[in-house]
């Protein structure tokens, strides 16, 4: 990614202005060495073993800057998504998920195969931090929001240079659909956070997760500003299920 300056306070203020987010927007960055990660100003290192969901939550819910290596993670499942653990035959077999999340080992193996993960060997560490902390230029940004907030955010992305957006979902381990996919494709990636993200990562029942490279934030904010001028804002006001729709439709759709 080309290094460039971002005004993270202005970006975060704009997101909160247009979308009224309840959860802190954060950044995630991969590092080729543990030493490089530990050189991040005021970074915290875990004193316990966690899931990657918990590490992300410590930034999004507590406002911390936190760095990890594979040794800090409870299982290979988290490490593989981030490219910190090899995608080996044992992991691909899915045997630990058989009978729990999937009926057969064949189903579990198909799930593992379907996940978007960073190739192993390039990175040794990862860090997350609130965007406003300005600890590093993130590889991707993570935004939690309601379906209503997310559709307007997507509308902002589509304001200019329209592109149909399509995503997949692997079900459990859906961090592969958000930060795993965004880190590997460099494209905006929307996911429905999974059981583990909600149980261990504090993700609220109504929240979706958008992961995307930082340059897309500027594009979305520009689009949100244009939509706002047209009266298309969050929260989306209810028109009424029994009202004559013609007056409302004429304003929004012509």
Give per-residue pLDDT as tens, 123-177: 999 999 999 999 999 999 999 999 999 999 999 999 999 999 999 999 999 999 9
Alpha helices by DSSP H, listed for 136-213, are: 147-157, 179-185, 195-200
Domain boundaries, given as residue ranges, for the chain:
8-235
pLDDT at 3: 52
| Distance, C-alpha 162 to centroid of its chain | 22
Integer-rounded Cα Rg, in Å, for the chain is 19
pLDDT at 87 over 80: yes
Confidence of residue 252 (pLDDT cuts 50, 70, 90): confident
H or E stretch including 224? helix 214-229
Report percent pLDDT > 90 for the chain.
Answer: 93
Confidence of residue 254 (pLDDT cuts 50, 70, 90): confident
Higher pLDDT, 247 or 187: 187
Coil, helix or strand for 14?
helix
Instruction: Tell me if the pTM is above 0.85.
Output: yes
pLDDT at 1: 39
pLDDT at 4: 67
For 27, the token pair is 């950044």
Model confidence pLDDT, tens digit, residues 195-247: 999 999 999 999 999 999 999 999 999 999 999 999 999 999 999 999 999 88
pLDDT at 247: 84
Residue of 148, 157, 172, 170 lying closest to 234 (CA atoms): 148
- Are 15 and 9 in contact by the 8 Å Cβ rule? The answer is no
pLDDT at 163: 96
């Amino acid at each position: 990614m080309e290094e460039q300056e971002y005004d993270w306070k202005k970006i975060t203020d704009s997101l909160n202005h247009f979308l009224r987010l309840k959860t802190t927007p954060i950044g995630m960055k991969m590092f080729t060495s543990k030493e490089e990660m530990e050189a991040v100003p005021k970074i915290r290192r875990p004193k316990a073993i966690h899931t990657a969901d918990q590490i992300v939550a410590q930034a999004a819910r507590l406002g911390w800057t936190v760095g990890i290596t594979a040794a800090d993670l409870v299982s290979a499942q988290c490490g593989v998504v981030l490219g910190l653990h090899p995608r080996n035959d044992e992991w691909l077999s899915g045997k630990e998920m058989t009978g729990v999340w999937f009926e057969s080992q064949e189903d579990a193996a198909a799930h593992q195969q379907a996940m978007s993960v960073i190739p192993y060997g390039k990175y040794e560490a990862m860090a997350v931090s609130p965007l406003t902390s300005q600890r590093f230029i993130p590889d991707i940004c993570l935004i939690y929001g309601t379906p209503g907030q997310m559709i307007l955010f997507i509308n902002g992305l589509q304001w200019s240079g329209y592109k149909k957006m399509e995503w997949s979902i692997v079900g459990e381990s859906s961090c592969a659909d958000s930060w795993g996919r965004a880190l590997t494709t460099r494209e905006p990636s929307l996911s429905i956070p999974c059981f583990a993200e909600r149980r261990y990562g504090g993700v609220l029942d109504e929240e979706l997760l958008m992961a995307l490279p930082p340059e897309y934030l500027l594009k979305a904010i520009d689009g949100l500003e244009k939509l706002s001028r047209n009266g298309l804002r969050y929260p989306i006001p209810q028109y009424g299920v029994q009202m004559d729709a013609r007056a409302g439709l004429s304003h929004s759709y012509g």
